[in-house]
Amino acid sequence: MLLGLWQLGSATGLIPQDVLPAPSLIAGAGVELVRTGELADALRVSGVRVIEGLLLGGVVGVILGTAVGLSRWAEATVDPPMQMLRALPHLGLIPLFILWFGIGELPKVLLVALGVSFPLYLNTFSAIRQVDPKLFETAQVLGFSFWQRFRIIIAPCTAPQVLVGLRQAMAIAWLTLIVAEQINADKGIGFLINNARDFLRIDVIIVGLIVYAMMGIGTDAIVRVLERRALRYRP
Amino acid sequence: MTVTFRGGDANHVAAQSDTDVVGALSGVNKWYGEHHALVDVSVRVARGEIVALVGRSGSGKSTVLRVLAGLSTDHTGERTVAGAPALAFQEPRLFPWRDVRTNVAYGLTRLRVPKAEAARRAAVALAAVGLADRAKAWPLTLSGGQAQRVSLARALVGEPELLLLDEPFGALDALTRLSMRALLLELWRAHRFGVLLVTHDVDEAVALADRVLVLEAGRVVHTLDITDTRRSSADPSPNTERYRAELLDKLGVRI
């Protein structure tokens, strides 16, 4: 319906084509990008950046959150600097990261990792602190080793909240990537969009934005599936 | 209902001496800060004996159990237990993200039983508490009584010589509580483990125990031997009323 009105508005000249092209033109641009393989290349590059950043930041965030959740000593030493770092807007670090790490893949991946690590760190930390102490007492009675405590109590008990952290982290990962790719990139979806701006291809810009949105929705759906699995024991 | 944990091996406990002590505290003291929680407490549980510990809230009953279970380290006095005692709490304390049979198999952790063997023994223990058909169920789908039976199966699957029970039926409704008592006695008759039962329910103590200790402000103030117990709600001891009255009197309840 909305698309129909949009197409109609474009055809009758109500919507100026240099501001918002008709849906048919955007779809055509999309098909063109897919056909030339440009979109697949850009998607692969951006996807690798997000995945690498998520893995790096996720592992660091979860490990630090676990350590701080389990040990008062780690809380005293790790938490204050983490809270200070968290107060910095990580997107504001882009100029610094360019000077430090150049304009290759490294600064983009690191920026994603930095943004991703905080929600995972905070959620892991607070999830571990909320584990029922009675479960640990039961583990002591049963004679669990540390590894068994981790596998049978900590991991399943904290999984739902860590996954909430992962959803927040996914959103931050894509947001960070969009900003980082707008500023300096020679490939990826951000580059596609920036390049299109130079050639006044609004249709291509919109295709790029739609791709970003779809990636965000897609990764969120994956985490929702994981969440359902982590909570399957609930009646 | 079968009550053996290892098929055909039900008599291996009875072959041993009946007077062996499976759990004992001698002259145990414990402080919580300024609070003298246990004062020279001595308790003995022999193999095949059920000892009940009654007292008001805060009298130190659960502390006695925690010391015997090895959950307390900062007490003075002597603690003797045969093997690793099993402990069942007032709440079932199952791991909700593991199925029922896996929860029961965790009772074998200390024995380092291979996984397949542990699963088999867990299934047998579940059958013994009448829940063979719920082996694959999630704990949160069980009723309160069923969950407590799983907890009992987890405690008994390792064939402990000493079973410690911390008000195990306290959270159950009256009818379920009666059938749990019967189940406990049935398992106890088959395996003859020693039991230390902490409860505030005088009727439960009289119905189950060979001996009842009354705890008050961290001291054992009275011991009642129940020699003529029939241990069946259908056929109670003729002296039940007298035992009840004696315990209630020692607990300071006027009726």
pLDDT, residue A26, reads 82
A168 within domain boundaries: yes
Residue-wise pLDDT tens digits, B93-148? 999 999 999 999 999 998 888 999 999 999 999 998 889 999 999 999 999 889 99
In a domain, A146, yes or no: yes
**Phi-psi group of A79: left, alpha or beta (phi > 0 → left; psi -120 to 50 → alpha; rest → beta):** alpha
A contacts of B140 (beta carbons < 8 Å): 233-235
Q: How many CB pairs under 8 A join A and B?
A: 44
**Backbone torsions φ then ψ of B174, nearest 5 degrees:** -60, -40
Residues 69-88 of B with CB under 8 A from A: 69, 71, 84, 86-87
pLDDT value at B230 more than 70: no
| Closest in B87, B97, B141 to A141, CB measured | B87
A133 touching chain B per CB within 8 A? no
- Residues of chain A in contact with residue B96, where contact means CB-CB under 8 angstroms, are 233-234
Model confidence at B14, pLDDT cuts 50, 70, 90, reads very low
Q: What tokens were used for B112? A: 């380092």
Contact at 8 Å (CB) between B111 and B148? no
Smallest CA-to-CA distance from A47 within A36, A39, A57, A59 is with: A39
ipTM of the prediction: 0.80
In a domain, A85, yes or no: yes
Pairing of strands B75-81, B21-32: antiparallel
A209 touches chain B (CB under 8 A): no
Q: Is residue A190 part of a domain?
A: yes
Q: Is the pLDDT of residue A49 over 50?
A: yes
Which residue among A134, A144, A233 sits closest to B96, beta carbon to beta carbon?
A233
Distances (CA, A) of A98 to A40, A183, A189, A190, B149: 26, 10, 19, 16, 63
What's the confidence (pLDDT) of residue B102? 94
Q: Is residue A129 part of a domain?
A: yes
Residue B227 has pLDDT above 80, yes or no: no
A95: pLDDT confidence band, cut at 50, 70 and 90? Answer: confident
Q: Which two tokens stand for residue A223?
A: 């985490």
Q: How far is residue B130's CA from residue B113's CA, in Å, rounded to a whole number?
A: 23
Residue of B87, B95, B156, B165 best to disrupt the A interface, most CBs of A under 10 A: B95
> Residue B250: CB partners within 8 Å, gap ≥ 6?
B214, B216, B221, B222, B224
Structural domain span for residue A75:
22-230
Residue in the structure block whose two tokens are 């969440």 = A227
pLDDT value of residue A32: 81
What pLDDT, on the 0 to 100 scale, is given for residue B15?
Answer: 38
**What is the rounded CA–CA span in Å between residue B94 and residue B179?**
21
Q: Which of A108-117, B18-27, B60-69 has the least mean pLDDT? A: B18-27
Taking an 8 Å cut-off on Cβ atoms, the answer to whether A141 and B106 are in contact is no
**CATH code, A209:** 1.10.3720.10
Asked if the model's pLDDT at residue A72 lies above 80, the reply is yes
- Residue with more model confidence, A100 or A186: A100
Q: Average pLDDT in the A104-128 region?
A: 92
pLDDT of residue B8: 35
- pLDDT higher than threshold 50 for residue B16: no
Q: Which residue in the block uniquely carries the two structure tokens 């829940």?
A: B131
Task: Tell me, yes or no, whether A235 lies in a domain.
Answer: no
Per the CB < 8 A criterion, the answer to whether A52 and A109 are in contact is: yes
Q: Which two tokens stand for residue B23?
A: 């759990």
pLDDT at B236: 62
Q: Which residues of B touch A156 (CB under 8 A)?
A: 95, 97-98
According to the CATH classification, is domain B1-85+162-255 in 3.40.1190.20?
A: no
Q: Is the pLDDT of residue B224 over 70?
A: yes
Q: What are phi and psi of A138, to 5 degrees?
A: -60, -40
Residue A12 has pLDDT above 70, yes or no: yes
Entry pTM: 0.79
Residue B233 pLDDT grade (very low, low, confident, very high; cuts 50, 70, 90): low
CA of B70: which chain A residue's CA is closest? A141
Structural domain count, chain A? 1
**Confidence check: pLDDT of B242 > 60:** yes
The two structure tokens encoding residue B205: 């103590």
CA distance B107 to B128: 15
- Spell out which residues of chain B touch residue A157, defining contact as CB-CB under 8 Å: 97
Mean pLDDT value across residues B206-214: 89
For residue A9, being part of any structural domain is answered with: no
Average pLDDT, chain A: 88
What is each CA distance from A9 to A24, A200, A201, A207, B1, in whole angstroms?
12, 21, 19, 19, 78
Instruction: Let me know: does B81 contact B193? Beta carbons within 8 Å.
Output: no
User: In chain A, whose CA is at the least distance from the CA of B137?
Assistant: A233
Average pLDDT score over chain B: 84
Distance between CA atoms of residues B148 and B152, nearest Å: 6
Please indicate if any CB of chain B lies within 8 Å of the CB of A135.
Answer: yes
Assess A235–B contact: CB distance below 8 Å, yes or no.
yes
Top pLDDT among B217 and B254 is at B217
